[in-house]
Structure 1
Amino acid sequence: MEENEYSGYWEPPRKRCCCARRGTQLMLVGMLSTAMWAGLLALLLLWHWETEKNLKQLGDTAIQNVSHVTKDLQKFQSNQLAQKSQAVQMSQNLQELQAEQKQMKAQDSELSQNLNRLKDDLVNIKSLGLNEKRTASDSLEKLQEEVAKLWIEILISKGTACNICPKNWLHFQQKCYYFGKGSKQWIQARFTCSDLQGRLVSIHSQKEQDFLMQHINKKDSWIGLQDLNMEGEFVWSDGSPVGYSNWNPGEPNNGGQGEDCVMMRGSGHWNDAFCRSYLDAWVCEQLATCELSAPLASVTPTRPTPKSEP
């Protein structure tokens, strides 16, 4: 009992010990808190220092990047100016080329016109030369034929027979006639007569017309009359004008596609027709030759060679 009472009496000293611990703990907590704050402060300072360092590096990098970008921009602007200058120069060059091209086209057009004029002049000169040559040839042929006719008349007046014709040719009044058969155009018939050393027939009298009527067997036949050179101006193959005619009523009329070549119908009347039409007959002629005695043979003129008309 006494011990319990004494025990309860000594409790106050225990409380002092507890306060001392508590003070120590508080001190430790304060020191720990201080250390923590110091560490936190140190961390903050370190973070601040690192942040400033990074910011400085970023600033330096940004400055460098800005400098590079500025230089690149300046270079780009310089290149752009150079390109603009080149574009302006190219535009000027293009305009110059276009002007030169236009000038060359004008010169080419002028040269082309001059060339065409020269070609036309050359064609005209050739045509003139051919016409003069053809005129001279026609004149020579007519002269030769007139000489041959005159010579035949002289021989006939001396009693010489001038009635010799090639085989299959018929004689009438100092001329020989060939009555061709086969489908031909007018130009084909003309060339065929030329190959036979003759020409398409020229009719100059009613007697000659009657003779031809006796042998054409009522067939439409090509004869040597045409107005190819000038419409309405008919000329015979021997170059002589029309002195005798036997036109069908209403002819010539130059109907259809243009009728420039003349045919003799089976009735004997003439009709202008399309030159490319095909007829089954045509009539050729040439001068007859004479039987000459030996003394006269040495002076016999050469028969004119029929021309090959184009």
Structure 2
Amino acid sequence: MSQNMEKIQAEQKTMKSQDSELSQNLNELREDLSNLHSQGFNERHTALRALGRLQEEVAKLWIELRTSNARTPGVTPGEKLPPTLPIVPITVPTTEPATVPTTVPTTVPTTVPTTVPTTVPTTVPTTVPATVPAAGPATGPTTLPTTAAPLSLSSTPGSTCNTCPEQWVSFQKKCYYFGEGPKKWIEARFACSKLQGRLVSIHSQEEQDFLTKRANKKGSWIGLRDLNIEGEFVWMDENPLDYSNWQPGEPNNEGEGEDCVMMQGSGRWNDAFCLSRLDGWVCDRLATC
């Protein structure tokens, strides 16, 4: 009986040692898995930010190339450029590292019975089954846009919502941001994009009157241009040119290179060189609930 008691105690010590070693291994595995996920997240985030900056620079180069070609001898004005490079959705993974349980369900008797049965089994199991669950599936969305969801900037009323971000002005279910500071047209475009909006698209006299009262009196960039095909003006929201407010004699494509549209202090429109710097620029986006 004494020998059997000693054998049981020895088995208990062995199982406790194995349990401690297994727990340590699991902790190391969890730490390695967390580091791996973190490293992959950081590398992908850095790469996607670099891609976004590259796309912005490419778009700027396209506009500068278009305006330069328009003023270069031998280049046909209005010649169609290659298709604009598509904007790749910038997604940032938010998958959290899968977690590994820190404890292992192992049943080990902590005490030895004070009474020993008269009949002692001749064999004692040397192993205790331990079930270690594999890394659980990560939950949650796998992507998170670095900017807000694409905005539909149609002027057609589709909602009664009229909530706008701070420093934006609400009017007829849209929000407007009146930017200040010298910018080229492409710089104004990306400034609006970073604010989760677009260069303004104007579709009614009421909207024009609202903008005229608040826009920079020295002139502001708006979201109208004919960069691809001369004379074919396109709004940033891609809706038809169903309203216009041109200055008499405009657009005239003076110097065969005026492909971006500005709004003068009077509210009248004028086609201008895209590389010119204006003190004002106007963004818009739909209001929210």
- Using structure 1 for the length normalisation, give the TM-score: 0.44
Whose RCO is larger (CA < 8 A, sep 6+)?
A: 2
Larger radius of gyration: 1
- Using structure 2 for the length normalisation, give the TM-score: 0.47
Higher helix share: 1
